[in-house]
Amino acid sequence: MGTERDTGVTRRGFLGLTAGTAAGVALGMRSFKAHAAVPHTEETWEGGTVIPSTCNMCVNRCGIRCRVVNGVLEKIDGDIRNPRSRGGTCAKGQAGIMSVYDPDRVKHPMIRVGKRGEGKWRRASWDEAFEYVADNLARIIKQHGPESLLWSSTTDLTEQFFVRLGIHLPTPNFARHATLCLASRNVGYFATMGGVPDSDLANAKYILMFGANRTESFQLPDNWTMIEGIKNGAKLTVVDPRMTYTAAKGEWIPIRPRTDMALTLALMHVLIKEELYDKEFVATNTHGFDELKAHVANLTPEWAAQETEIPAEKIVAMAREMAAAAPAVVVYPGRRTSWYTNDSQFRRTLPMLMALLGAFDAPGSHSFGSPKARLGSFEWEIEPFDVAERFDHFETRYPLANHEDGGYVSLRDAIVDGTTAYPVKGWMIYKQNPLAAVLDGKKSLKMAQQMDFICAIDVQPSETAWMADIILPETTYLERLDPLWAPSGPRAYVGIRQPVVPPQGEAKPILDIIKGVAKALDAKHEFETPLSQVFNFSMEEFIDAQLKGLPIDRQTLMQEGIWLGPEEKKSYGAYRSGKKQFNTPSGKIEFVSERFRRNKFPALPEYETPQEVPGQQRLVSGRHAWFTHQRGHANNLWLHELYPENEVWIHPELARQKGISEGEEVLVRSSVGEIKIKAKVTPRIRKDTVFICHGFGGNSAGQTTAQGKGGADFMLMESAGDEISDNQATHETFVEVVKV
């Protein structure tokens, strides 16, 4: 530490430095007030003005209430009316305050003047910035066609405006977040049951989680319904080579990594052999049971015990406990499933296991169709486009993946290895940090280096923004009006995200940035529909269109922050009785996947024994509750305070063998990179595995709090992707931990 900011200066100190107004008031002590029989002088507290809004520190979008005193955002609390977040706000949500007042924040358009990544910038006006971006895009479109532009962004309420600009150029080359996260889960569940179901954890009697870490990476409402379920008596079993906080809430099964499918297949073997499966459900609602029965006939618990290092008796006991609790069982789908190259196939086995247990369309299990408010839709100018094929052959290589999302590993490798169908010259990036998220970080840097033009739209000078030619500063979520949010959940509702404080510096909301780029581009290139015409509306008009058909207007919604739909009692039975069909080729839950079969992938999941590297450990990665995403969390002073640097977790026995002690700096090396990082010696990890928390080891000199703290997992991970979804496979790398 040692710097003044790290140890002593407070938020009010920053306000004094950055805003330059009301510093005297803000820096002063709280006024005193006396009370009680003996007059005492205590701290006082001001309620301030409370503005309801929607969080954006992760993808869950909790309802928040923001307390503003004298124009300064003082406190963020939860909104008890929100059916999904029910009044909670985590460390990240509250530290959103520091995303506004972060001294490293980009507050003005910045144009690169030194070499790429060197960190030399000059401040530009917005007019100049829009001209600069339009000049470069128009030049590339003219020379190489619009399809030579790569368009990267991450899921959020505002992403559609950025994507829409790409659609109208038009380029087919989008790179969205799915293959850095949940693509394999989506592909596996879609093939098996036509979608990813909701999990009724609060009423489950048995919860089985593979690696999913609901207590450290929140997903609403599952992080708190899981705890309610446990308090209601549910048994939680967590299968994971690492003991997470989630595993601490139940029974930890420290499985040998990459053998999860052996466990699920053996569980199915026991359920079928002991006739513990739900015969009626299987007969009415599933497809391919006989083939499954034959497929798992030899996959005994004894066989799985060899693979997984879980005792055979334990596997049998688990199957029996699950059958006893059925249908109130949840085998949890997971969220970030970017683990292994067989992940889509492994994910398929989870709903297959649920189908055998008849754990669907009943309380305490899976279901579709949770309450959701129906938003009206804004009518876009849409014309038919003659769009080129993607440059990376994604459609033919990954026929079952979502082609609009693209695949990060395959597109990066195609560009760097020179196997693209045509040149890729320009890269527009909105609110995404691929240079600190895609595995094999050195290779990603090469991709950036070979672009003619890179524009990053961001709040933070992220690793990716730092490599750009121009950074356009966006407002934080606490400074702008966004499209409405109406997720499915325990109860239908509509939430609004609105400005609670004015923007810092010259930051603009994304819609204004897109309009600026569109207008400047129209002057330089003729598009089928002029881009300015596409974006000829205000955010207020967009929201009003969304509210069409709902009994609430924009002003009232902004005042209230939330509109709650009617309370609905969930009804069950339509699927079980066969009245409703699943969105699969057979209309049933498919043990044998017809979609996989048609596309020449194994129709039943086939297990392969993992290959290990003697003397090395498998590297696994994950998150913790204090910062989940790359959205500048590592540079957030309040979050940095909670966890300033990550460590490599090693088992005490491995540490003894290597003579490594707690807190000692070690070298971790793989075939693609090496990092220096402190060791955490803990029994919470297997001996054959090491864990490095993602999100550290930042190398953007613009992020002065995060830079150089801890080690970056993605610099060690070798290029690999799931064979079916192209979800990046981050747990396929073996590393050597070296004492230095």
Partner 1 sequence: MANQKLVMLADTERCVNCKGCEVACRAEWNTPLGFNRNWVIETISISDDGVPHMYLISGRCQHCDDAPCVTNCPSGASYQRDDGVVLVDREFCSGCEMCVQVCPYDARFKNPLDDKISKCTFCQPRIDAGEQPACVEVCFNRALIFGDINDPNSEVSQLLKQEKWKKLVTDKVDTKPNHYYSESTYLDASVLPQEKEPTIEAEVISKVVNPVVSVGFSGMLGLFGAAGIMKIIKRREEVSNDSHSE
Per CB under 8 A, residues contacting partner 1 are 1, 5-12, 29, 32-33, 35-38, 40-45, 47, 74-78, 85, 87-91, 93-95, 97, 215-216, 218, 223-224, 227, 230-231, 243, 245-246, 248-249, 252, 625-626, 637-639, 641-642, 683-684
Amino acid (one-letter) located at 418: G
Which lies closer to partner 1 via its Cβ, residue 305 or residue 639?
A: 639
Burial 258-275 (b: 16+ CB within 10 A, else e): bbbbbbbbbbbbbbbbee
Residues in the chain: 740
Rounded to whole angstroms, the maximal C-alpha distance in the chain is 82
Task: Work out how close the CB of 651 gets to partner 1 at its nearest, in angstroms, rounded to a whole number.
Answer: 11
How many alpha carbons lie under 13 Å from residue 176 in its C-beta half-sphere?
A: 17
Give yes or no for a contact between 714 and 720, defined as CB atoms under 8 angstroms apart.
Answer: no
Which lies closer to partner 1 via its Cβ, residue 668 or residue 685?
A: 685
Which lies closer to partner 1 via its Cβ, residue 65 or residue 366?
A: 65
Which lies closer to partner 1 via its Cβ, residue 88 or residue 710?
A: 88
Task: Work out how close the CB of 616 gets to partner 1 at its nearest, in angstroms, rounded to a whole number.
Answer: 24
Which lies closer to partner 1 via its Cβ, residue 218 or residue 408?
A: 218
Task: Work out how close the CB of 105 gets to partner 1 at its nearest, in angstroms, rounded to a whole number.
Answer: 18
φ, ψ (nearest 5 deg) of residue 622: 180, -165
Task: Work out how close the CB of 562 gets to partner 1 at its nearest, in angstroms, rounded to a whole number.
Answer: 18
Task: Work out how close the CB of 60 gets to partner 1 at its nearest, in angstroms, rounded to a whole number.
Answer: 11
Listed in sequence order, the residues at least 6 apart from 133 whose beta carbon sits closer than 8 Å to its beta carbon are: 455, 470, 472, 517, 520
Give yes or no for a contact between 737 and 654, defined as CB atoms under 8 angstroms apart.
Answer: yes
φ, ψ (nearest 5 deg) of residue 133: -65, -45
Burial class for 125, CB neighbours closer than 10 Å (0-12, 13-18, 19+): exposed
Task: Work out how close the CB of 642 gets to partner 1 at its nearest, in angstroms, rounded to a whole number.
Answer: 5
Task: Work out how close the CB of 325 gets to partner 1 at its nearest, in angstroms, rounded to a whole number.
Answer: 20
Which lies closer to partner 1 via its Cβ, residue 57 or residue 470?
A: 57
Alpha-carbon distance 516 to 525, whole Å?
15
Task: Work out how close the CB of 493 gets to partner 1 at its nearest, in angstroms, rounded to a whole number.
Answer: 18
Structure tokens at 124: 């530009």
User: Which H or E run contains 75?
Assistant: strand 72-78
- CA nearest to 371, candidates 218, 565, 81: 565
Task: Work out how close the CB of 239 gets to partner 1 at its nearest, in angstroms, rounded to a whole number.
Answer: 14
Task: Work out how close the CB of 453 gets to partner 1 at its nearest, in angstroms, rounded to a whole number.
Answer: 39
Burial 196-214 (b: 16+ CB within 10 A, else e): bbbbbbbbbbbbbbbbbbb
Which lies closer to partner 1 via its Cβ, residue 584 or residue 707?
A: 707
456: left (phi > 0), else alpha (psi -120 to 50), else beta?
Answer: beta
- CA nearest to 213, candidates 618, 628, 490, 619: 628
Task: Work out how close the CB of 206 gets to partner 1 at its nearest, in angstroms, rounded to a whole number.
Answer: 18
Amino acid (one-letter) located at 456: A
Cα distances (Å, whole numbers) of residue 90 to 87, 96, 417, 614: 10, 10, 42, 41
Task: Work out how close the CB of 345 gets to partner 1 at its nearest, in angstroms, rounded to a whole number.
Answer: 30
Instruction: Output the CA angle 466-470-474, nearest 5 degrees.
Output: 85
Task: Work out how close the CB of 464 gets to partner 1 at its nearest, in angstroms, rounded to a whole number.
Answer: 27
Three-state secondary-structure class, residue 470 = strand
Pairing of strands 149-153, 174-175: parallel
User: Which H or E run contains 690?
Assistant: strand 689-693
Which lies closer to partner 1 via its Cβ, residue 626 or residue 714?
A: 626
Which lies closer to partner 1 via its Cβ, residue 246 or residue 728?
A: 246
Alpha-carbon distance 695 to 631, whole Å?
10
Structure tokens at 296: 């798992």
Beta bridge partner(s), residue 679 = 648
Which lies closer to partner 1 via its Cβ, residue 165 or residue 255?
A: 255
Task: Work out how close the CB of 29 gets to partner 1 at its nearest, in angstroms, rounded to a whole number.
Answer: 6
Burial class for 524, CB neighbours closer than 10 Å (0-12, 13-18, 19+): middle
Q: Tokens 């596409």: give the residue.
A: 534
Give yes or no for a contact between 205 and 237, defined as CB atoms under 8 angstroms apart.
Answer: no
Which lies closer to partner 1 via its Cβ, residue 441 or residue 490?
A: 490
Which lies closer to partner 1 via its Cβ, residue 89 or residue 171?
A: 89
Alpha-carbon distance 492 to 562, whole Å?
11
First-residue to last-residue Cα distance in the chain: 23
Cα distances (Å, whole numbers) of residue 441 to 268, 275, 416, 437: 39, 49, 12, 8
Task: Work out how close the CB of 214 gets to partner 1 at its nearest, in angstroms, rounded to a whole number.
Answer: 8
Which lies closer to partner 1 via its Cβ, residue 84 or residue 269?
A: 84
Which lies closer to partner 1 via its Cβ, residue 322 or residue 625?
A: 625
- Count Cβ atoms below 10 Å from residue 390 Cβ, excluding itself: 25
Pairing of strands 198-199, 366-367: antiparallel
Which lies closer to partner 1 via its Cβ, residue 89 or residue 728?
A: 89
Which lies closer to partner 1 via its Cβ, residue 427 or residue 626?
A: 626
Which lies closer to partner 1 via its Cβ, residue 27 or residue 294?
A: 27
Structure tokens at 146: 């619009």
Which lies closer to partner 1 via its Cβ, residue 520 or residue 562?
A: 562
Task: Work out how close the CB of 47 gets to partner 1 at its nearest, in angstroms, rounded to a whole number.
Answer: 7
What is the distance of C-alpha 532 from the center of its chain? 32
Beta bridge partner(s), residue 667 = 676, 738
Task: Work out how close the CB of 305 gets to partner 1 at its nearest, in angstroms, rounded to a whole number.
Answer: 17
Amino acid (one-letter) located at 647: E
Task: Work out how close the CB of 234 gets to partner 1 at its nearest, in angstroms, rounded to a whole number.
Answer: 12
Listed in sequence order, the residues at least 6 apart from 512 whose beta carbon sits closer than 8 Å to its beta carbon are: none
How many alpha carbons lie under 13 Å from residue 653 in its C-beta half-sphere?
A: 8
Beta bridge partner(s), residue 153 = 430
